[in-house]
Structure formats: C-alpha cells, structure tokens
Structure 1
Amino acid sequence: MEKAAFEGWLESVSTSFLALSDQQRNQSLDHLISLSGAVQLRHLSNGLEALLKRDFLRLLPLELAFYLLRWLDPQTLLTCCLVCKQWNKVINACTEVWQGVCRDLGWRIDESIQDAVHWKGVYLKAKLRMKQLREEDAFETSSLIGHSARVYALYYRDGLLCTGSDDLSAKLWDVRTGQCIYGIQTHTCATVKFDEQKLVTGSFDNTIACWEWSTGAKIQQFRGHTGAVFSIDYNDELDTLVSGSADFTVKVWSLSAGTCVNTFTGHTEWVTKVHLQKSQVESMMHSPGDYILLSADKYEIKVWPIGREINCKCLKTLFVSEDRSVCLQPRLQFDGRYVVCSSDLGIYQWDFSSFDVVRIIKPQQDPSSISLLSFGEVFALLFDNNYLYVMDLRTEAIVGRWPLPAYRKSKRGSSFLPGVTSWLNGLDGKNDAGLVFATSMPDHSIHLVLWKENG
C-alpha cells in the first residue's frame, strides 16, 4: 500500500476506533494482537514499557521525590531501596525521611547531623532495640551482695549506687563492675543522697547526718525532728538541706552549720518525699530560677518557696481527690516545668506555671497496682509486683516489659529507684546503657536491671 493510501486508511481506522466503546476497543486490540507477529509484539512491548512503567522517582525533581518518600512507612522504604541503584541512592540521600522514622520510634534527633546514611543506620539500630523491648530481650540482671540486713534506702547518680541498710552501714557501688567502692558505718538509713565528697543520710532515729566518704567521719549532725526522717534533699550552692519526717513536718537546715532555719507545717500524714528544684517557668507565685521545695504525704503535695525563711507560706497544695479517698503513691517527680505523681487513679501531671492538671494516664493494668518510676518526654518507666514496663507517652501503649523477682516492698518508695533516665526523653543509641532499675531484695542483696548491649 502506498504511503498516501496508507495514511488515509489509518486516519479512517483511527476515527472509527475512537467512536467505539471501551469494550469494543478492547476486542479490536485483542484481534489485532492475535494477528501480530514477533516483530509487532516486540514493538508493542517496548512502547508499553515507556508509557506504563515510568520511573517516577527518577523523573521527579529531587525535593518532590523527598516529599513523597516521607509518606512511606519504614518497611516500604527499605523495600524501595532494593528496587534499583537509583532508588537506593535517592532514598539514602533523604535525611528528613530517616530522621522522621527515627523520631517515630522515640529517638532523639540531632538536627545538626544532616547525613541520611547516618540516620538510616540509627533507624536500623533503633528498630532492633524496640524489637528487643517488645520481646523482653532488652535488659539483663545482676546483683550486689554485701549487706547483712535489710536495705532501706537507695540513691543513684553517674554510674554509682548508694545503699543504706539496717546493718548500720552505707555502701557505694560501681554499677558497671559490681564492686563496692566505699563502705562506712552509719545509723540505720531510711534515705540517702551523696556526691563526690559526702553522703547525707536520714534515719529512723529521727536524725540526719553528713559523712565524709574518704574517712567515714561524721561531718555534721542535724537534730530536731521527732519522728523518723524519710526523705532528704540538699543543694550546696544554697547551703540548704531539706527533710521530710514521720512527725508530719518539713524542715529546712543550713547544710554547713547543721542548724534548723525553718519548719514547715501543714501535712497531716508522714512526709515521705521532699524535692528541691529550680523553677523553669513563671507564674503569679514564682519566677524562673526560683528554688522550689515540694513535699508529699499520702494524700497531697505542697509547694514551698525556698529563700524566704521568714513568714514562708505554702504556695499551693496539689491533690487528686478533695475527700482524701485516693492515695498518692510515694513517687514524686519535678523537673521545674511539670510535677508528676502516681496515684490509685493513675499518673497525674501538673503544669507548674498554672498548677492545672494537664494529663492523667490510666494504664491498662490496675492503676492502684502500678507505680511510676520515672517520667520523660517520650517514655515513662513503670512497675508493679511482677514487671517493669516501658510506656510510650505519645500513645500511652506499653512497648516493653521485663519480669521482676519478688523484691522487698516499701510503702515509702525508698527501696526501689530508676537508674539512667535521660533515655526517657528520647533514645539516641548511646543513652540506652547502664542501670535501668534497682531494688532491695528479702535476702539483703540489691537486684539490678541493666540495658543489654544493642546488637
């Protein structure tokens, strides 16, 4: 057929084809394909591939490709990396994508690191750690043995754990090696706190004492309470020590002189927790940088200003039930912005600038049986009689747990504590190491739960 005649025929066929229904068009194509030979079928295949199998990731501008990739879940991203070298190159160059999936897992993101391959590696490690948490494989245990009577008090900082016992001694342990660094003779310790030079202890004999680690000598003694001293806190910069007692009072002391500066009254139950901390927010009652003392008993938390020793009045009283039908558990946390405490109804969080309850978390387990260990920005560490729990605070779902032995119960909450807590504000691949939880056991040993090295 000559060219002119062929073009006329093709125009006529095209006009007729466009007038057909979809079903008729399909039938026409099926008939033409059945009449085609190998040359025509190869030509058809090459044409269809160009029309239907376009590599959109290669064709799109890079910033638009990055935007689309952010909508994919991590597993799909990893699958897409296997499509071809070009896809792998594009996906591995998208820093925001890998930072985003790490953030979704609860990882802390350093925005200054703009290396996508780095964040992809972090994601793979993070995925493994979260899998270990789900499968009860993230932690390991060890014991500290050395006391000959019940251990009442524990305090942890910078890899060191201090224990105070009924055997009239306090010991300082290196958690990593399990070795006892110092052991000094004291009174029966109900609460302890230490730094590099000294140890401060509160006792069931109603007194507080300050000891020197290197010599074991008693540097200072504080007398004035008429009941056991259940909680202490101090600040060297302020030269201030605070204490809470079974005599229902809170006392403020000069740390260097050993003299009582003030006594706060108003509690009608044992004061089981005192906490001294700078405020980081402003309200009508305090400003950022002001030192604040929190004291807690069975039913309420009182907020006191420190530095106003004359006519010092309680700024605020926090509680979860006006009729005192709900008990607070002896776990109090204050970071200068929020006050957090667990109760029989759940975990309560107060905004320190307004003193309003901003959040109530009710675990799936019985709230009265589960206790708060530590509360962060991303995760919370909880426990009950049987397990240690890691909760994702964004979803309030339990993302990991670890079985606990039959540890010694303490109504004052002094015989168990969290270890390193920075990871609760977001894991970063480095802070998931060291001590997670410590508690005293009926056989006078200390049971430790530690992070297992991330494989």
Structure 2
Amino acid sequence: MPIRRHIQDENSPRQGSHVKSATTTILSSNTGLTKSSNLSTVHRSNGYQNAHRKPKLKHKGEGSSALIVPNLSLPEEAGTLFSWYTQNWSDVKRNEFLHKFMLKLDPRQHYFVSSFLAARQHKDFISLLPKDISLKILHYLSVQDLLRCCMVCKTWNALANNNDLWKYKCETVKMEVPVSDQPEWKKLYKDNKYLRVNWNSAKCKITDFKGHSDSVICVIFDHLHLASGSLDKTIRVWNLKTGKCQHVLKGHVKGVWCLNFFTHNLLVSGSYDGTIRVWNLRTGKCNKTIIAHDGPIWALARHNEVLVTVSQDKTAKVWDINRCLHLNSLLGHTAAIFAVDMSEDGHLVITGSADKSVKIWNIETGRCLRWISVSQTTSIMSVSYSQGHLACSYGETICVYKVEGPTRLIKKYLDIVNEHQKRIECLKLGILDKEKGEGIIVSAGKDGAVKYWDIQKDKSIQTFVGHRGREVNAIYFDELRIASAAHDNKIRIWDFNV
C-alpha cells in the first residue's frame, strides 16, 4: 500500500532543523545525570516511565530546544528504536514505519491502540459548553441518568442538581405532594416518588384527634382544617397540623351525619334532625339554617355552589347553598337514600339507596339517566364517583363499574378471607389513570378495618387497624393522608407524606 506523504516532504527545509534540534538530550538535574549524545545509554540507566507519552520539548533560549527523555523500562534495542523514531526520522519515515508496524499487530493489540486513542480524544463537552446549552442537553436524560451524572464530577453535579432542571422533571409527572412558595424541586420530586411507595408499604405518621363524647359519624378535611361530626350533636374543627381543637360548633339537636367545606371559612353540615346548617369558622357561629328534609339527612355532596342532600324520606334535593335556595328534587328511589356523590364537572349526581340500586341523575333536569341494580339482598351503603368510574358497597362487597358509555362491571370484591368481615360503611374511589383504568379505593366498615385497594388487583394492598376493633363510621382521603372516624369517639389521621 503506498504511503500518503501528507505531512511533509523529506527534502523539506524544516527537516534539517528538526533533526539538529533533537540531537541533544537534557536530563533532569534531579536524576544526577548529565548531557549525553547516546540515548540508548540513557534508556538503560533510567528506563522509561510511560510508554504512551510523547517526549516533551523544553525550549532554552532563542532557537534552541532539548528533549526530556521519559523514564521507561525497555530493552536496549527498543530504546535505540525509540531514539531513532523521536530524534532522527522524518515524518514520512515515521508514517511508513507505523504503517508496517500496525499491519503486524494482532487483534488484542489493535484493541489496545484503539482504546488508548479513544481515551485521548475524549472531551468533556458538558463542562465546556455554556450552562444553558448543557442544561438543555441534560433535560433530555431520565431521572436515573441525572442521578448518575451527579457522581461524575463537581461540575456535572452542579448542573445535574439545577433547580430549573428538576422543575421540568416535576412537570412531566403528576405531583401529589404540596408545592411551597420557594420549592426545592429535586426534593419535591423525591417526596412525590416515595409517596406512593409509602402508601403501598403502610409507612405513615399516625395522629389521633380526641374530644368528642360520643361516636364520631363523619369527617372531612382540607389543607388547613379537619372537621368532625358526632352523635354528641356537636361539630369540632381541628388544626390539621397541630391536632388542636379550634372550635366546637353547637346548634343541631341531633347527631351530625355529614359535613362538607363550602369555602375555607364556611362549613356545611347535615343532621339527623333534617336540617342543613352553614357555619362560619372564624366566629364559630351558625350563619344559616335550612329545614331541608322530612327525615334524617344521611349524606351530602357539593360542587361549587351546588349542594345535594339525601335523606330517609327517599328524596335527593339540589340546593344553591350560596342563596339557600332549593333548585330541584330527584325522585325515583323507593326507599331511604344512604349515599350520594357528584361528578367532577357537577353535571351528574349518583345516589345509593336501601332499595338496592344506584341511580345516576342529570342535575339540571332531575331526570334519571341510568339505573343500576347492584344488590339482590341488602342496601347500598356508600357510593363514590371518579372520572367515569363508580364504586359502591353493600354488605361486605365492593363493586366497581365503568359508567362512561355502556355500564360495565369491571371489578367485584367479595367477603373473602382477610378482607372485610362485616358491613362496609363507607368507601372512596380515586382514579389515577382513566385510560388505563388504574385507581385506588379506601374502604372502612363495622369490623374496624380501613383497607387500601388497587382496583386492578384482586386483594387489598394494606389494612390499617387503629380503632381497637370498634366500627369505623366514615373515612376521607386525599393524595397525602387518610382520616377515619369511629365509635371509639376519636379521629385518626394516617399521613403518608413522611
């Protein structure tokens, strides 16, 4: 194969000066050696330290140069060859030698040479590029790769921990943990990641709220307050963080069976006495009282200013709670209505009755859109609607339906071993992914157990027992915690954001 003489010609005027300048070698004074014209002697006496480094030229004065010979351990012939290569040969001769030399190498040596050259050609472009461009590149990496980048070097660590970069990562997932005013996005991403792990492993902080003198029948909370209603005819409002009771609301003449926050400072309650009351949480006083039903009010649901209440009198009534105005009555159940819920947009009302059926209503027209015969034996005690899915309970059984389009039963949990052994009093459904049908259910009943379910699995994931075997009357949950109210006169909070 012909050699391409692309570097310089042998007769180039640069050739003579190159050879002349390389004929003298100066050794470091630390070695105790002097100048020598015989490079092979130097190689024998000192050896080479690094076979892969090129000799360094050290300039001393104008127009003069000297070669610092590396300290390598090579045979005398090899040292002589190295001297010829570095001192005497032109670039053309070096190329011819390397060409013939490379043809003699075996695959293992080829691999060594290629690996060495690849390492010499490596550039840390992330550190060399402007910060904005480096961050733009890193934001395409997965979270796992970003965490690996943190271990490369200090520069990569600083870039991979950039707060704006982790803010982008948080925007790509559903954030369930609360975001502060000055968030540390990497920590928030981590907390959000481990939140669902804590739910599945039952890792939580437990807080008990005590103060009622009789069974607690209902419970609800927002990000500031928790409210509970009891058979002692009172409503207690608690600070959710400290657990201290802030208000004791008195006015109902019988037990309080349902609650809902209207605003952060207004609370709506429904009672066994058939009335609805609106309470001011700043003053602790009742602002409005509505005589709503001819029997006990068992449950209520709210969307914006629209409130729906259900009663022993077999009716569900729709109210404009802001004006305390009765808008409509939903008639059709043939027995007491024990449960109610509303769709996310407020257009649908779902009711469960002692007539063993669930009905879905158009809230504006009052017309029943769908009737589902759920049970053949006993009353529907609880209903919960989420993103086109409906969960309801009767006896020790939970049923999950998909009600967008044709009604279809997609899951049924029976009274199997290690599940609810007594009647389920309440449940809440939360759909996480509507298209994939992923979601969770929290249920509680007379057996004193609070259970956490994945609707795609056949058994409950976790069971929480915290009321000494007393029946649990009500539950409420969000992304962070579960609140349960029971016959032992207390409320227990299970907080998974730990």
TM class by shorter chain equals: 0.5 to 0.7
Cα 1:71–1:247 shift into 2, 3 Å:
same
* Equivalence for 1:85: 154
* Equivalence for 2:6: none
Cα 1:107–1:446 shift into 2, 3 Å:
closer
> What is the SS of the residue equivalent to 1:272?
strand
* Equivalence for 2:275: 208
Q: What does the per-residue CA deviation read over 1:297-347, in whole Å, with 9 as the maximum and x for residues that have no partner?
A: 365432223344xxx43122356x6x858986614135xx54532454554
Matched, 1:229 2:285: no
Which of 427, 430, 433 in structure 2 is aligned with 1:375? 430
Cα 1:185–1:208 shift into 2, 3 Å:
closer
* Equivalence for 1:405: 467
Instruction: Report the alpha carbon displacement of residue 181 of structure 1 after superposing the two structures with TM.
Output: 0.8
Matched, 1:153 2:218: yes
Equivalent residue letter for 1:297 = S
Residues 5-404 of structure 1 mapped to structure 2, 5 A cutoff? 8=93, 11=96, 14-15=99-100, 17-18=102-103, 21-22=106-107, 49-51=119-121, 54-55=123-124, 57-58=126-127, 66-67=136-137, 70-74=140-144, 76-93=145-162, 95-96=164-165, 99-100=168-169, 103=172, 106=175, 118-126=184-192, 136-147=202-213, 149-157=214-222, 159-175=224-240, 176-189=242-255, 191-193=257-259, 195=262, 196=265, 199-203=268-272, 207-210=274-277, 219-225=289-295, 228-233=296-301, 237=305, 242-252=308-318, 263-275=329-341, 279=345, 291-297=347-353, 299-308=356-365, 312-318=366-372, 324=376, 330-333=382-385, 338-343=388-393, 344=397, 347-351=400-404, 354=405, 369=420, 372-375=427-430, 377=432, 380=440, 382-383=442-443, 385-387=448-450, 389=452, 404=466
Instruction: Report the alpha carbon displacement of residue 231 of structure 1 after superposing the two structures with TM.
Output: 1.8
- Taking the aligned partners of 1:25 and 1:233, their CA distance within structure 2 comes to 76
Q: What does the per-residue CA deviation read over 1:340-375, in whole Å, with 9 as the maximum and x for residues that have no partner?
A: 324545544544xx4666976989x98974974351
CA contact (8 A) 2:339 2:382 kept: yes
- Taking the aligned partners of 1:153 and 1:160, their CA distance within structure 2 comes to 14
Greater Cα radius of gyration, structure 1 or 2: 2
> What is the SS of the residue equivalent to 2:152?
coil
Instruction: Report the alpha carbon displacement of residue 79 of structure 1 after superposing the two structures with TM.
Output: 3.6
Instruction: Report the alpha carbon displacement of residue 163 of structure 1 after superposing the two structures with TM.
Output: 3.2
Cα 1:188–1:366 shift into 2, 3 Å:
farther
Matched, 1:417 2:475: yes
Which TM-score applies when normalising by structure 1? 0.62
Instruction: Report the alpha carbon displacement of residue 137 of structure 1 after superposing the two structures with TM.
Output: 4.1
Equivalent residue letter for 2:294 = G
Instruction: Report the alpha carbon displacement of residue 141 of structure 1 after superposing the two structures with TM.
Output: 1.2
Instruction: Report the alpha carbon displacement of residue 232 of structure 1 after superposing the two structures with TM.
Output: 3.0
Equivalent residue letter for 1:340 = L
Equivalent residue letter for 1:119 = W
* Equivalence for 1:41: none
Instruction: Report the alpha carbon displacement of residue 237 of structure 1 after superposing the two structures with TM.
Output: 4.9
Equivalent residue letter for 1:404 = G
Aligned positions, number: 387
Q: How well do the aligned residues superpose, as a CA RMSD in angstroms?
A: 5.2
Equivalent residue letter for 1:219 = T
- In structure 1, list runs of 5 or more residues that go unmatched: 31-43, 281-290, 425-431
CA contact (8 A) 1:139 1:451 kept: yes
Cα 1:125–1:300 shift into 2, 3 Å:
same
Residue identity over aligned pairs, in percent, reads 16
Higher relative contact order at CA 8 Å, sep ≥6: structure 1 or structure 2?
1
CA contact (8 A) 1:192 1:232 kept: yes
Cα 1:3–1:94 shift into 2, 3 Å:
farther
> What is the SS of the residue equivalent to 1:341?
strand
